[in-house]
Amino acid sequence: MLPKVTVFFFIIGMLVLPGCWDMEDINRRGIANVVFFDTGDTGRFKTGVVLGTPGTEIPPIVGTTQQFEHRHYVITGEGDSMVAAWSEVQAATVRDIFFGQTRVVVLSEELAAEENINDLLDFIGRIPLLPPNIHVLIAKDEPEKLLAMPNRDNYTPGNYIDFYFQSPPIRSLAIPMELWRVNSVLDQKTSDPFIPLFEEYQQMYRIAGTALFNQNRMFGELSKSETEILALIRGTDVGYLTVHLGENQHAAFGFARVRSKTKITPHFSPADQTLAFNLDVEITGGLVESFPHREIGWEEKQEIERKAERMVKEESEKLLAKLQDLHTDPVGFAGKFRTAYPREWKPSDWKQLYSEAKMTVTPSFAVVHTGLYR
């Protein structure tokens, strides 16, 4: 009986073999490189997608003629819901839009300030196969124009941005916020999201600062220098830092490969409901510039480190005061407080406690090398 039964079920199985319904010709697949959202003119939302131009979806190779004028194009749609806007996008192309290779989700500044980011990312986040570790960015300029621009590095925008975030020399400028991390921060409520801002610069993209969020809406932004300090406080593995010598702005020391590790300790007094945070920031860096040039001996090292520590302390405390004023917590102080004082942790009281918390930054800076020169 067994062979007959096996053959019978094998034939039945072949008839209903799944996969036939999902067959898709690769040429008909439009690989979404970037998905962006903006406020619409005719509808509440405008959404768009960056698709690779067929035949150009191979990386540029230096020394060959493989440089295309238009490696990508943009399709947009508008509607009163994300899905309505999206259906306009899909209706505008014969290719089935595929999200499995999407690298970046971009929101416009205007939309991020007007709408709840949790709702904005809900549509894109529910799409199966969308990589969870794609970057979320806020565009300083209009996303459609920004993403339609052919960049000089000749990458599709999503690839450009993905490589940018993985490039060590600029990591302290561009603290990555992936989609899963934004969702995690929003769900946990023990910190506020912060999302890199990007802009056009000499027909390329670069990080313009950091967008700050309060209660799921964009509420302010940090400049590039403030972003570097935020990266230092949060703990970074690579970065640059310039320390000026007192009043003389022309005399400065520059550091590369700056690494930091921060220990945040909360102190809470239940009696008078006062909260204080001590931030012990351990920073190391290699000296790559001494302006004016001089040999770095023991005394110079001590002096440089003292000045760097003072600068980090001043800048950090200034930044933290700004964050407190904006009632936004990108560093994650709430998480530290919840962990140390789980019984006292009440999300509803946090904003008040945080805005009045005393912040003390205690940096220690160590010069680990001086490059090729002594």
Partner 1 sequence: MLKEKTGIGPGLFFMVLYVSIFGFGVMQAPHVAAEHMGHNGYWGFILAFILSIPVTAGIAWLGRHFPNRSVIEYLPQLFGVFFGKVLGFLILTAILVLMVWTSRMINEEVRLYFLSRTPVWASIVLFLLVALFLAHQGIEGITRLAAFVFPLTFVLSFLAILFSLQNFELDNIRPVFFFENGLAVGNGVVHLFYPFLALLTALMINPYLTKKKKGFKVMTGAAALAFFLILLAIVSGIGNYGADGILRYSYPVLELTRKANLPFLLQTFGLFFGATWLSQALVATGFFYFLLSEGVAQWLRVLNYKWFTLILFPLIFFLIMLPFGVIEMRIIFPYLRVGGFLFTVGLVLLLFVVAILRRGGNPENAS
In the complex, which residues of this chain contact partner 1 (CB under 8 A)? Answer: 1-2, 5-6, 9, 12-13, 16-22, 128-129, 131-133, 166, 180-181, 183-184, 187-190, 332, 335-336, 339, 342-343
Looking at the Cβ atoms of 20 and 271, the one nearer to partner 1 is 20
Cβ 196 vs Cβ 202: under 8 Å = no
**Cβ 372 to partner 1 shortest distance, Å:** 29
Of the CA atoms within 13 Å of residue 4, those in its CB half-sphere come to: 1
Output the smallest distance, CB 331 to partner 1, in A.
Answer: 12
User: Least separation, in Å, of the C-beta of 315 and partner 1?
Assistant: 25
Measure the CA–CA gap between 187 and 349, rounded to whole angstroms: 17
Q: Which residue lies nearer to partner 1 by CB, 188 or 302?
A: 188
Nearer to partner 1, 146 or 275 (CB): 275
For partner 1, give the closer residue by CB, 22 or 41.
Answer: 22
User: How many Å apart are CA 153 and CA 204, to the nearest integer?
Assistant: 7
Where on the phi/psi map is residue 246: left (φ > 0), alpha (ψ -120 to 50), or beta? left
Tell me the C-alpha distance between 297 and 287, whole Å: 12
Min dist CB 293 to partner 1, Å, is: 38
Task: Give the residue with the Cβ less far from partner 1, 5 or 94.
Answer: 5
Q: How far is the CB of 16 from partner 1 (least distance, A)?
A: 5
Q: Which is nearer to partner 1, 129 or 372 (CB)?
A: 129
The distance of closest approach from Cβ of residue 100 to partner 1 in the complex, given in angstroms and rounded to an integer, is: 9
Q: Is residue 108 classed as helix, strand or coil in its secondary structure?
A: strand
- Quick one: 150 or 332, whose CB is closer to partner 1? 332
CB of 192 to partner 1, least distance (A): 14
Contact of 209 with 227, CB cutoff 8 Å: yes
Contact 206, 174 (CB under 8 A): no
- CA distance linking residue 112 with residue 194, whole number of Å: 11
CA–CA separation, 174 vs 184, rounded Å?
Answer: 19
Q: Is 272 strand, coil or helix? A: coil
Angle in degrees, 0-180, between the axes of helices 347-356 and 298-325, rounded to the nearest 10:
130
